Structure 1
Amino acid sequence: MALKEVFLTLTFIHVFLHVADCVKVILGDQFIFPVNCEPGESGKLLRVFGQNDISEVAAYQREQWTVKMYKDRMMINSSKIGFNHTVYNDGGLYELRCSKSEESVQLEVVAARKVSAVEDETVILPCYFVTTGKTGLNVAWLKNEKPLCVKNSRPDCSSGTPHRLSVSTDWFIHGDLSLTVASVQPGDHGDYFCYVQDEHRNHSVNPAAVRLTVREKKAHQIPTTATPVNQTQSCSEQTEPWKRSTLVVGVFLMVAVTLFILCFWRHFKSGCDFRKLYELVGSQHTSQPNEATTPFNY
């Protein structure tokens, strides 16, 4: 038992003396360990929980992995191994111990807020930190693990696109480190991480994470400039059918009134058959086959 404790202690010291690569992953995403044993080697993937708590996650032999922990979530891709989806408790220190090499990985699982924006919109990626009582702090925003140059974040920012990326000028007073992205472009989509740096450029332990999705602007959302209309030509074209219709109706009414007066006058002489009047009016109306009969357009 004592020998086992000594072995675990030596392993723990060795792991922590070896500089670990820090890798961040969004909660729920797939993660493949960036290190692996070479062909022909044998090795082990260890999970270091503490000084006396080191567990074997998987073993590598004859170019094949044998999973011993997290069997429901571990995936093997060729000679690589990783999680098909991550949970929050996957964060921690791992060591890949091969026959000829050893590598350590500090995995950081971060819960991300999802933000969506339409192309050319202005969007705010939220981040907050307690700055009260602290001095010499700077804001650090990273996109896909690469530092961004953000206006008002630090005095030495001289590259990137600070004209579109900015934080509030009084972020230190309010603790609001949120990133404003003006005129969002498709290339802005990705995973953003927000840190606070001290005067020694050390990052805050727990970063804020935001996953930005940029949607393409649809046709009906794109403003268009209307083509000037030739008012004289358009007005003439629109009123021509109305003039023809008015002329036809006027002629029809004149004929109808004339026939009615004649019939009314003859009524006292010898009587008048009103059915003939209707027939005459109808024949007069249908005798203009080429005339426009469209209704009024208001």
Structure 2
Amino acid sequence: MSTTFTLDTSTSRANPTPAPMKRLTVPAIQRRKVDGRTADPLVMLTAYTARQAQILDPHCDLLLVGDSLGQVIYGLPSTLAVTLDMMAAHGAAVVRGSYHSVVIVDMPFGSYEASPQHAFASASRLMAETGCAAVKLEGGVAMAETIAFLSQRGIPVMAHVGLTPQAVNALGGYGARGKSEEEQAKIIADARAIADAGAFAAVLEGVMEPLAIGITDSIPIPVIGIGASAHCDGQVLVTEDMLGMFDRVPRFVKRYGNAADMIDESVQRYAAEVRDRSFPSEEQVYQPKK
């Protein structure tokens, strides 16, 4: 989906780049891993709106429209209440706001688990309504058949193993995974299963670093870490976390800014100027021509 259309910028805040870069593709992402190693690590962040996508896009290889929007945008306690309608609306906005990154849309809880056919109906809807390049789903061995079914029918799939937020109730929380030998064996089996099934890449979340290194080195597809290891083939974070929008963030987040304080300070100044009637000033109001 292109963003080279013409807009009346006097009435719209959307400003597509007039000479967009060529958008990356799923095969291009796959080719970044050569002989088990990615020399140029993949950069991935979450995006939920067109304007956010415009800002992030030049710096990223992949933009993930994550179901984390349930918590970040809608204030939900978990991702479990996120719907296909939500993902479709935000996915379309991110595609419209980007021109370079591969855009991937999360499949929400309940939209793919019942059967491969159910997953295909959900995934095909997301791709048709958003223009995204791929979908992401959680699960390893249990989802291998579904991943193969989608991949064979032209839907690129990014898998997600390790700590899987949609399974938070079964996992008993958001703690790091892979502490026991039994759990390590399961995550390794999950990673191998999704690679064999045809996933083009995998997100590996919240696992012990030695396990993350071993998985990255042992499967042929790019492994994008979050709370895993710098050794992974790339990294992803929730953008609002790394920008400092929230007081509490997971241990694995590094804050690269303090956007919440900046917004708070700006709103304080605005409120003060409204109350003392110094805003709007002459520069912000219209006067009749003399």
Task: Output the TM-score relative to the length of structure 2.
Answer: 0.20
The structure with the greater share of residues assigned to helix is: 2
The structure with the greater share of residues assigned to strand is: 1
Task: Output the TM-score relative to the length of structure 1.
Answer: 0.19
* Larger relative contact order, structure 1 or 2 (CA cutoff 8 Å, min sep 6): 2
Larger Rg: 1
